Structure 1
Amino acid sequence: MSPTRFDGTQTQVVLRRLGAFRPLSGPAAAALDKAIRERILRLGGGQDLISEGDRPDRIRVVLSGWLARYKALEDGRRQIVNFVLPGEICDPYSYLLARMDHSIGTLTPIVYSEIERDRFEELVASDRTLAEAVWCEWLASNSIQREWTLNIGRRVALERVAHLLCEVFERLRSIGQVDGNSCTFPITQMDLADATGLSVVHLNRTLQELRAAGLIVLRERTLTIGDLDALESAGLFTPAYLHYAG
């Protein structure tokens, strides 16, 4: 299936993502599914979904494709501060602020939904399970941000990369988008370098170390993990900070 085609089933990834934090009631799931379907949009790769300085005035829900939150310096140097994966909500309460303090750009073509503020607030006010799931997703996003800060500030290069690969795999597994020990991994080495605070040369050397150890295979936009326990050990990774229920 093309990543820019909406086939009606992609709303399930959102329900599964939120359900990883709190089980949604039947009425809440149905209401959210209906709201998502009301406005489906597409955006190509390499474009900003929303830019630093923009006024955030609605909710954007990712149905397929990958994005990156990033900050950039005036000379063009970029730091990716998190990936936004299918099923995730882009800053559900950012409309409470006057301006965006970072940008969210597409790494691949995406399909997404826009929900107006009033509609969103009506949804979360009408069902406690949905309200708690959205809050938990937002809190988990903040937790991931803290882990990324630790990753860049204290882990060495091999630990940084191994940890990030483990995190992405776990986040995709929570929404049913892994196949055994393999998952889609459509990002470039430049993106991965910008996410780990490494040069492309250093990043490439680190990936070669992980390959040589038999821990990963990266081929044709797919990540295959040879030994998940060993990769987690190499990255000092524990998934508790992702805050999945159960």
Structure 2
Amino acid sequence: MENRFIDKLGALANLSGKDVAVLTAATSAPRRVAARQDLIREGDRPGPVFVMLEGWACRYKILPSGTRQVLAYLMPGDACDLHVGLLAEMDHSIQTVTPALVATVGREDMDRIMDDHPAVARAMYRGQLIDEGTMRAWITSMGRRSSIERAAHLMCELYLRARNIGLADEVSLKLPLSQLLLADSLGMTPVHLNRVLKELRMHGAMTLQRGSLLITDTGKLVQIAGFDENYLHRRLRSAA
């Protein structure tokens, strides 16, 4: 069975046969998780490293007012929280967006793998650097980009990330994110987001409907977003 986690790490460092074998064994007993199920909640004691083999998940926080802010999306191949075990409790929650196949790697097991397999450790650290770069891009969007720039930027990011793991073709992506979830990602109300998406459609840049993103003019969408893929650090692949 294809293991997108190993594929992702293999794109970030040169893994040996022994590296692949130990990662395969560590993720060999995944479990099926239904959509909209919390893998871990804010306030919980951190547990194992969650590895997304299939499906999407998101990080989120619930504010005292009851509103939700989505902090990041996890796609197949992503791992959650390499160093969160150093904390006494989780400062955010992680929930599946779609039905998912999730492997759990015990904290001690992961530490041992990284100690014994330096290439795996390099790949994991590089993956974490990409996650941190993505977080900085989201902060920049929330603080300085206009609503239409913010939405266009997120669409560019999700499309590029999905294409990198073979989940998108040249112009389209099956996007399993509701407008409510996207609104909570972008700091907008669903009504405001609907207006922004209509504006992007009128610009001829993209269309989002029935769970699919269709990019009708890549150059225009990139221009509106001011998108620069550097923060995803794809150049790390060639340096691995």
Which band: TM-score by shorter chain?
over 0.9
On the 8 A contact 2:49/2:105 being kept in 1, the answer is yes
On the 8 A contact 1:21/1:137 being kept in 2, the answer is yes
State the 4+ residue runs in structure 1 displaced beyond 4 angstroms: none
The one of 197, 200, 203 aligned to 2:190: 200
The one of 58, 74, 87 aligned to 2:64: 74
Identify the residue that residue 88 of structure 2 maps to in structure 1: 98
C-alpha separation in 1, matches of 2:164 and 2:219: 17
Q: Which amino acid aligns with 1:162?
A: A
Shift of 1:162: 0.3
Q: Which amino acid aligns with 2:57?
A: L
Secondary structure of 1:178 counterpart: coil
Identify the residue that residue 157 of structure 1 maps to in structure 2: 147
Q: TM-score, normalization: structure 1?
A: 0.92
Secondary structure of 1:105 counterpart: strand
* 1:1-246 paired onto structure 2 within 5 Å: 8-9=1-2, 11=3, 13-37=4-28, 39-244=29-234, 245=236, 246=238
Moved more, 138-147 or 20-29: 20-29
Deviations 1:108-159 (A, max 9, x none): 1111101111211121112211100001111211111111011011000000
Q: TM-score, normalization: structure 2?
A: 0.94
C-alpha separation in 2, matches of 1:26 and 1:210: 46
On the 8 A contact 2:197/2:207 being kept in 1, the answer is no
Secondary structure of 1:46 counterpart: coil
Structure 2, unaligned runs of 5 or more: none
| RMSD (Å), alpha carbons | 1.3
Q: Which amino acid aligns with 2:17?
A: G
What is the number of equivalent residue pairs in this alignment? 236
